[in-house]
Amino acid sequence: MEKQLLHITVNNEYRELYINPKRLLVEVLRDDLALTGTKRGCNTGACGACTVMLNGVPVKSCSVLAMQADGAEVATVEGLAEGGKLSLLQRSFLDHGAFQCGFCTPGMLMSATALLKEIKKPTKDQIKEAIHGNLCRCTGYNSIIRAVRAVAEGEYKERG
């Protein structure tokens, strides 16, 4: 199949690359752009490990063709830390032990980051709803929810 030119902005960096139009967004992120923070688990849209933001909306990148992101802005977990500083949510995940193996963590962080951008102080139910498509097989969800709530409750501040 003839390759097509993909124009995409990932973590605020504009990229152009020729790809087979059948390739998935998760493949291009991981294999072409070396952004391996985005995980590939089930590959069927069920686990959420591959969650990224597409124009600010969380999507499962194993369920999106890369060409569907042509001209779009994509944010991955690598873009959360700015200038070497972890985001508030990343710090809270660390402090609350909100991961063990960490496989689900990038997807969880992207879903929760999108939630906090939309709703500053989400309720527990809203947090549960936001991460309901992200499966964790080890930590248990309580510590993840606590970590998100701590940020929502203003327990974390930007460091100067």
Q: Which is nearer to ligand FES, 21 or 133 (CB)?
A: 133
Q: Which is nearer to ligand FES, 56 or 97 (CB)?
A: 97
Residues within the interface to ligand FES (CB under 6 A): 40-43, 45-50, 60, 62, 99-104, 136-139
Which pair of tokens denotes residue 20? 């087979």
Q: Which is nearer to ligand FES, 60 or 88 (CB)?
A: 60
Least gap, CB of 50 to ligand FES (angstroms): 3
Q: Which is nearer to ligand FES, 35 or 136 (CB)?
A: 136
Least gap, CB of 38 to ligand FES (angstroms): 9
Least gap, CB of 81 to ligand FES (angstroms): 19
CB atoms inside a 10 Å sphere around CB 23: 18
Measured CA to CA, the distance from residue 160 to residue 73 in angstroms comes to 28
**Coil, strand or helix: which one is 20?**
coil
Least gap, CB of 103 to ligand FES (angstroms): 4
The contacts of residue 4 (CB under 8 Å, 6+ apart) are: 18, 19, 20, 21, 67
- Residue 154, sorted as left (phi over 0), alpha (psi -120 to 50) or beta, turns out to be left
